[in-house]
Amino acid sequence: MDARGLVTALIANAATLLASTGASAQTVADFYRGKTVRIVNWASAGGEYDIHGRLVSRYIGKHIPGNPAVVHQTMTGGGGIVAANFLYNVAPRDGASLGVMPSSLALFQALGDKAIKYDAARFNWIGTIAPTQENLVSWTASGFTDWRQMLDREFALGASGAGSTSVIVPMAMNALLGTKIKLVPGYPGGAEVNLAMERGESLGRWNTWSAWKVTKPEWIAEKKITVLVQSALTKPADLQAPPLLADLAKTADDRKIFELLATAAELGRPLVAAPGVPDDRMGALVAAYRATLADPEFVAEAAQLKIEIAPLVAGELQSLVMRALSTPKPLTERLAKIVE
């Protein structure tokens, strides 16, 4: 190579080096500035998932470096599996596509649902405003005030359909505890089940304690509903009397099954990102989530909506997911047969 060729080669190499250095030096703020972050929510409008997702969407943008716009979109179907598959397989893995996913994400995978095209362990878990405590309540006028009454008498329970914990957990109760819960499917949503309770068609409803406090605080105050059992890993401070299903288990294996079911409640209404998002952007998103939940305006609006803030963030959620997925396969296969 002559001198001219050597100089040309050196210039070309220098240009390549400068270009690659410039690309790698792009800051998180540079990436997000002028972009729109899309948050896909698996649930339809009006419920806890939707309320939580929209609330976070209104504030998180100002805490992400570069202050991107944030839009909240609904993507229903398959009890959340459609949205989860989309986020995992289709959405760009750049940190500009996020999702409010079903808390049952790991449970569905543990049960071997064939529609699943994701690995819950590989999602980037950002945070949840607070864990939830799922519970079975009775309409107090029905005469059911203790879960043990369901061992001797049939308990008609309105439900929206197969696949949700509102169906899976009562089926597990029948199989593992001997309760006589008769599922009455076909209700479009929780509001319709509430009406069915008032009419006497359904003797109760499966719901979260936080949802009851937001949507029907007067029912709690007037003792129109009675909490019979709870599906959670711990009891909330203001609901200590009703037993945890895990504590009612007859065997150690049955307890593990009830604990697997309870992880869905503990995950709350989680915000996640797909696998493969660069580490610096994930760090910024988690930090932005923490800052959002401490934002005085966010806190004030959450209080107005009666939403309690007790966040679980990043690794705390990941630990719950791994706990669910580590349930021994013979037990998940047993549960899958119960809920077929």
Of residues 80 and 24, more confidently modeled: 80
* Within a domain: 2: no
Return d(Cα 53, Cα 163) in angstroms, integer. 22
pLDDT for residue 7? 38
Which tokens belong to 275?
């696998």
Give the rounded distance of the alpha carbon of 251 from its chain centre: 28
Residue 23: band (very low, low, confident or very high) from pLDDT cuts 50, 70, 90:
very low
Q: Is the pLDDT of residue 215 over 90?
A: no
* Within a domain: 22: no
pLDDT for residue 15? 42
The arithmetic mean of pLDDT across residues 85-100, rounded, is 97
Residue 162: band (very low, low, confident or very high) from pLDDT cuts 50, 70, 90:
low
Statement to judge: residues 238 and 320 lie in one domain: no
- Side chain identity at 338, as an amino acid letter? I
pLDDT for residue 105? 92
Return d(Cα 324, Cα 175) in angstroms, integer. 20
Statement to judge: residues 69 and 124 lie in one domain: yes
Statement to judge: residues 284 and 299 lie in one domain: yes
- Looking at 222, 247, 264, which one is the last position of a domain? 264
Alpha helices in 60-115 (DSSP H): 81-89, 105-110
The domain that holds 213 is classified in CATH as 3.40.190.10
Give the rounded distance of the alpha carbon of 69 from its chain centre: 23
The structural domain count of the chain equals 2
Portion of the chain with pLDDT greater than 90, in percent: 76
DSSP letter (8 states) at residue 101? -
* Within a domain: 150: yes
- What are the phi and psi torsion angles at 132 (to 5°)? -115, 160
Query: pTM to 2 decimals?
Result: 0.83
Statement to judge: residues 271 and 256 lie in one domain: no
The arithmetic mean of pLDDT across residues 13-30, rounded, is 58
- Looking at 214, 241, 264, which one is the last position of a domain? 264
**Per-residue pLDDT tens over the stretch 307-323:** 999 999 999 999 999 99
* Within a domain: 14: no
Return d(Cα 78, Cα 16) in angstroms, integer. 47
* Within a domain: 13: no
Q: Is the pLDDT of residue 164 over 90?
A: no
Determine the structural domain holding residue 315 and report its residue range.
30-131+267-327
Statement to judge: residues 236 and 151 lie in one domain: yes
* Within a domain: 336: no
